[in-house]
Amino acid sequence: MSSETTSTPVPVGKLLKADSIASIYRADIEASIKAFASSPSHSRKPKLVGILATDSKPSEMYAEFTRKTCEDIGVEFVLKRVGAAVKKEEGDAGSVGSNGEGVELAIIEANEDVGVDGMMVYYPIFGGLQDHYLQQLVSPYKDVEGLNIKFHFNLYHNIRFIKPQSLASATSSALTGASPTAPTNSDIPPEGTIKSILPCTPLAIVKCLEFMGVYNILLPYGDRAYGRTVTVINRSEVVGRPLAALLSNDGARVFSVDIDSVQEYNKRPASSTPTGPSRLYYPRHVVNSSSNTLEQCLALSDVVISAVPSASYKVDTGALKDGCICVNVSSEKNFEKDVREKASLYLPSVGKVTIMMLLRNLMRLTNYQDILKQETSKSNEQQ
């Protein structure tokens, strides 16, 4: 009898869909919406305003997707079209506005409208510093996308819990006594504080990784990604860079790869001392340049996340570590068709989870606003 065994085809990794992850958060969001609507102080649906200022088709599709999700879940969604997003009426020979025309005024009006609970702006509009200015123009009490500098400061400095009143201050958290959040056994905010808002797309990716088992729930909150090595491709200010910081602040070793450089984000960076190499531990991530190539990063990485907005860009399947987890964030497919021959799990889209995080941010912001009103009322009574 022959001792040889019959070979079988190598099994491919599992293809995941964002729907199953988004559904986990939907029930809690719906409960928050119902509580808001039934509250005597509101007696209405929460209201989200979207501002569209370009004729970009991806932005138009995202706005429509947001509208459908809001209507389905019980949020009033109003799309404010300005500039090039204003559609000409049939037979109208007049010209529409240019990209970005009227967007600043639309943001100011939404900030001042007490009936508006949250606001999102569909970027890019101008690009660069002009878009950054618009992001800071949005009130932090209505910033469902978490792009305001106060939220970014908290993210990069690992400040997870804040007092809502601090958002009304012109000073940063560093000047109001806030400090990085040390690992703890609970993610429940200490008394008198609430969780700081996080950018919805990076947060959605973190939630997807939690679902896929990247985070170890046996470890303390704030360090549950310890032991994982992650590569994030594209260091944009909207997704890539804040995502690398989030994962590193949760304990992961993160390689942030961009066109011209590779950086390492780590709370436990290696350090040379007179007596030899040592490891340090910081309350938040530190960033150092890395001499690794993309291929070397991929070979080390348990998780690979790509967010390159280009149809021609593809991550080489052959360079991936066997059994890794791959997440595509771009509207384009950044991974090759055979990615599951190396990846154990592959998530081709996070959009539906991003919308859930955006709506969760909306409901947290309504809570911020309620707390601020209560504090203001108490202060007025004491005077």
Annotated catalytic residues are 200
* Close Cβ partners of 65 (under 8 Å, ≥ 6 residues apart): 351, 355
Cα gap 137→135, rounded to integer Å: 5
- Angle formed by the axes of helices 200-211 and 351-382, to 10°? 120
Cα gap 15→369, rounded to integer Å: 40
* Close Cβ partners of 275 (under 8 Å, ≥ 6 residues apart): none
Q: Are strands 47-52 and 118-121 parallel, antiparallel or unpaired?
A: parallel
Please identify which residue in the block is written with the tokens 């291929």. 295
What is the number of residues in the chain? 383
* Close Cβ partners of 264 (under 8 Å, ≥ 6 residues apart): 253, 254, 255, 256, 287, 288, 289, 290, 292
Cα gap 30→32, rounded to integer Å: 5
DSSP state string for 227-244: T-EEEEE---TTTHHHHH
Exposed, middle or buried: residue 372 (CB in 10 Å: 0-12, 13-18, 19+)? middle
Max intra-chain CA distance, the chain: 96
Residues 298, 304, 307, 310: is their CA dihedral positive or negative? positive
Facing residues of 78 across strands? Answer: 49
Cα gap 166→196, rounded to integer Å: 11
